[in-house]
Amino acid sequence: MKTVIIGAGAMGSLFGGHLTLSGEEVWLVDVWKEHIDAIRSKGLAIEEKGETRNISVNAATDARSIGKADLVLYFVKTYHTEKAVKDSLVLEKEDTLFLTLQNGLGNEEIICKQVDRKKVILGVTGQGATLLGPGSIRHAGWGKTSVGELDGKITDRLNRVAQMFRKVEIETDVSFRIHDLVWEKLLVNVGINALAALLEFKNGQLLDHPETLRLMEALVNEAIEIAKKKGIRIEGNPMDRVKAVVEATRENRCSMGQDLDYKRKTEIDAINGAVVKEAKRLGISVPYNLMITDLIKVIEKGFHQG
């Protein structure tokens, strides 16, 4: 399956590097020229469990030079999705599949504005990665990846994508309830990211205080209420899932935290901000999510002024 990954940062490079090792034709596309130049000249360095290997991966700053793709996989930050999709349309042929494994809400809608929704599949991933510098990433977390059709059907094309990921030890299943899984992942991000980012905490510190535990629970409970009103089925105990992720990533500074540390825009609009947006549409009040979204937004504004 000729796969083109749009957004070759931490996650795009992780998937692209591994898929290349399996012999698939893979292309990484990123607008960050220094990173692409480093991959082309020295290979992609992936640090994994203390060892670093260098992988020779096809990489380009522009999708126009690549020809058509069987699979286009989006791994840009959510606020770049619209432009990334536009740039990737040159890759489309009759049976091209478009997959997002990004976090947050709204990616499906943004992609489907420009691509026929029959060609779009959704996913979530529990894999984790950190960008170390141009041409270099660290594989930081191992979790399940799920992919699903928008209409919940289990199809051959879905199985082909899952099979391709499994071949490179990216544990993947196909799901008939992918929208539920997108929300289940969202709940984890809603509980952790903005709170840890604002408090300048590593994830694990959120478990050390009754106050942060209470705040996490309040943020997650508001989002659960919205999910239920939308007909989303949340399995198990979401708060247990949030705590399990925090425990497993105790030493990590979450990506939103890193974004604030480096004075970069965050994905708040697709996470707590998306809960606020959905709540407004439903006429429900979500004061904790509104407050934390506003706080992050004010900090972001300071970056532009600075």
Q: Is 83 among the residues that bind ligand NAD (CB under 6 A)?
A: yes
The structure tokens listed for 40 are 């082309």
- 273 binds ligand NAD, rule: CB under 6 A: no
Q: Which amino acid is at 306?
A: G
122 is a contact residue toward ligand NAD (CB under 6 A): no
- Give me the half-sphere count of Cα atoms (radius 13 Å) on the Cβ side of residue 102: 32
Q: Which is nearer to ligand NAD, 78 or 272 (CB)?
A: 78
Can you point out the beta strands (E) in the chain?
Answer: 3-6, 26-29, 44-48, 51-55, 58-60, 71-74, 97-100, 120-125, 128-133, 136-141, 145-149, 172-174
CA distances from 214 to 183, 229, 268, 279 (A): 21, 23, 20, 21
Taking CB under 6 A as the criterion, the residue among 110, 131, 178, 276 binding ligand NAD is 131
Instruction: Give the residue with the Cβ less far from ligand NAD, 267 or 278.
Output: 267
Q: Are 142 and 167 in contact (CB under 8 A)?
A: no
Select the residue interacting with ligand NAD from 129, 174, 194, 296 (CB under 6 A).
129
With binding defined as CB under 6 A, does residue 80 bind ligand NAD?
A: yes
Q: Which residues are catalytic?
A: 185
Kindly identify the residues of this chain, within the stretch 11-40, that bind ligand NAD according to CB under 6 A: 11-12, 29-32
Window contacting ligand NAD (CB under 6 A); options: 75-83, 196-204, 239-247, 290-298: 75-83
Q: Which stretch binds ligand NAD (CB under 6 A): 44-52, 81-89, 157-165, 224-232?
A: 81-89
Q: Which helix (H) or strand (E) holds 302?
A: helix 287-305
State in angstroms the smallest separation of the CB of 109 from ligand NAD.
Answer: 15
Q: What angle do CA 108, 113, 114 make, to 5 degrees?
A: 105
Interface residues with ligand NAD (CB under 6 A)?
6-12, 29-32, 75-78, 80, 83-84, 87, 102-103, 125, 128-129, 131, 255, 267
